[in-house]
Amino acid sequence: MVLDGASYTLQGTTDQGIRLAGRTNVTVQNIKIKTFQNGIVLSGSSNNNIISGNTIANNGEGIALISSSSNRIYHNNFADNLQQVYSLSSTNTWDDDYPSGGNY
């Protein structure tokens, strides 16, 4: 599944902007996510997903990864979050290799 935000903004004041719980093979791209407690949350073995080309700003935590691994997270703009990334029991890839690059 591809969730393409088409450069629209997802803004709120609740806990989470986007949450993937126990999901695989989902791509989240081209979304501006701001003013949530957690911009994006991957939890409960959400593995093999792609988070790419998003602006994640002004959240408590930009992205939270909890027991979720083998995700590819690249070309995102993390800005002005209280904590850019929170990771617990998760191993993920944070760039798209040379010369494409990683996150800002």
Residue 99 lies in a domain: no
| 13 pLDDT higher than 90 | no
Mean pLDDT, rounded, of the chain: 96
Residue 102 lies in a domain: no
Residue 41 lies in a domain: yes
Residue 94 lies in a domain: no
Residue 98 lies in a domain: no
Tell me, what amino acid is at 75?
Answer: H
Residue-wise pLDDT for 65-104, tens only, equals 999 999 999 999 999 999 999 999 999 999 888 888 898 8
Residue 32 lies in a domain: yes
The beta-carbon contacts of 15-22 under 8 Å, at least 24 apart in sequence, are 16/40, 16/41, 17/59, 19/43, 20/46, 20/49, 20/68, 21/46, 22/46
Residue 93 lies in a domain: no
Q: What percent of the chain has pLDDT over 90?
A: 88
* Count of domains for the chain: 1
Q: Which range of residues forms the domain containing residue 49? A: 2-88
DSSP 40-77: EEEESS--S-EEES-EEESSSEEEEEES--S-EEES-E
| Full-model pTM | 0.94
Residue 104 lies in a domain: no
